[in-house]
Every structure is written in structure tokens, then in C-alpha cells.
């Protein structure tokens, strides 16, 4: 039951950093194997999601060390921690499911400008750099970065507007 409930968020967490489905899926499987073998160490009074993503995070760092000689670009440590914080915040939201989050994301994608959507698709779906996108679309690199930034911000606003308010301790200044 715990695997079914958390596998999508662990997969999304890993894909946000690796963006290559095969190694990410291997890490998803390894994460739940490690979790299973260490289930006796899990404090059942705490949420399972952050615990299992902590395992995924450690496995991700091990993977990165092994891949350090490749030309793959990863999220910086602080970006990964921010992503973990966002997942923790989502886990705290009562009545919120991964499917609801995905639906909010899909709705948000429909509300982007065509250019924002195209830039995000090229970057996340086709793994293109900002420079490659700029060349393909005939835009400047800074313009591509700005469209990507505005698109991401719009998606975040859409998702936050569809989720219940987080507990007071998770709000800024709370």
C-alpha cells in the first residue's frame, strides 16, 4: 500500500533531477527495496513520504557520484533541497493526492502562452538546453530563460491555487 501511495511522488522527485527515465526508474525500484529492508527503522508516527524520499535522495547522491565524469547536468544541492521542501509541503496538505497535483499541473499547462508551453516542452520533454531552444525558435537565450521562468511561475501559482493551504508552520514566516 505504501509503495502504491508514494511511488509516483518518488518517481517525480527523481525525474526532476535526472530527467532520464531508465536510471530514474532503477533508482525508484532501489529506493523501495532499501525502504523495505529498513522498514523496521521507520518511525510510524512520522509521514512515510519524506522518509522514503530521503532514501531516494541518498541513492540519487550515490548515483551522481558514480556518474560524476559524464556530461549530465544535475540540480544543485540547494535546488534539490528546495524540491524536497516542496514535496514535504505537498505531503502536509490534507486531502491532496498525487493525481490531484498532476491534474492541477495539466490545467496549468493549458493556461500557459503557446510560447511558454513550447519552451517548457522542448526543455523538459526533449531535454534541450536554453541555447538549443533559442536556436530552434529563433529567440535569444535570455528570452528563452524568461519564458521558462514565467511558465514555471504560472504553473506553481496554478498548483498552489488548487491545493489546500499548508499548515501554519509551513507558511513563510509561520
List the grid coordinates of 127.
531535454
Reference 59, options 86, 26, 103; nearest CA is 26
* CA pair distance 156, 77, nearest whole angstrom: 21
* CA pair distance 33, 20, nearest whole angstrom: 20
Tens-digit pLDDT profile for residues 27-45: 999 999 999 999 888 888 8
Residue 56: pLDDT above 90?
A: yes
Q: What is the mean pLDDT of residues 66-73?
A: 65
SS3 category, 76: coil
Question: Residue 100: is it exposed, middle or buried by C-beta count within 10 angstroms (0-12/13-18/19+)?
Answer: middle
Model's pTM, two decimal places? 0.45
Tens-digit pLDDT profile for residues 81-106: 777 777 777 666 544 566 777 777 88
Q: 112, 159 in Cβ contact below 8 A?
A: no
Residue 72: pLDDT above 60?
A: no
Domain with CATH 1.10.10.10 in the chain: 99-164
Query: Which of 11-20, 113-122, 161-170 shows the lowest per-residue confidence on average (mean pLDDT)?
Result: 161-170
Q: 72, 142 in Cβ contact below 8 A?
A: no
Tens-digit pLDDT profile for residues 133-146: 999 999 999 999 99
CATH classification code of 99-164 = 1.10.10.10
* CA pair distance 66, 18, nearest whole angstrom: 13
Of residues 1 and 141, more confidence is placed in: 141
DSSP state of 172: T
Amino acid at each position: 500500500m505504501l509503495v502504491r501511495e508514494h511511488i509516483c511522488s518518488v518517481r517525480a522527485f527523481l525525474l526532476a533531477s535526472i530527467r532520464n527515465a531508465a536510471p530514474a526508474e532503477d533508482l525508484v525500484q532501489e529506493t523501495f527495496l532499501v525502504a523495505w529492508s529498513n522498514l523496521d527503522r521507520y518511525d510510524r508516527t512520522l509521514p512515510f513520504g519524506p522518509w522514503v524520499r530521503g532514501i531516494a535522495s541518498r541513492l540519487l547522491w550515490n548515483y551522481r557520484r558514480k556518474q560524476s565524469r559524464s556530461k549530465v547536468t544535475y540540480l544543485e544541492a540547494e535546488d534539490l533541497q528546495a524540491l524536497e521542501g516542496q514535496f514535504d509541503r505537498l505531503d502536509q496538505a490534507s486531502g491532496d493526492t498525487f493525481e490531484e497535483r498532476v491534474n492541477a499541473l495539466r490545467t496549468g499547462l493549458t493556461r500557459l502562452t503557446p510560447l511558454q508551453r513550447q519552451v517548457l516542452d522542448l526543455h523538459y520533454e526533449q531535454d534541450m538546453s536554453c541555447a538549443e531552444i533559442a536556436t530552434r525558435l529563433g529567440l535569444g537565450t535570455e528570452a528563452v530563460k524568461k519564458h521558462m521562468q514565467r511558465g514555471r511561475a504560472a504553473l506553481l501559482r496554478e498548483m498552489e491555487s488548487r491545493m489546500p493551504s499548508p499548515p501554519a508552520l509551513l507558511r513563510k514566516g509561520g
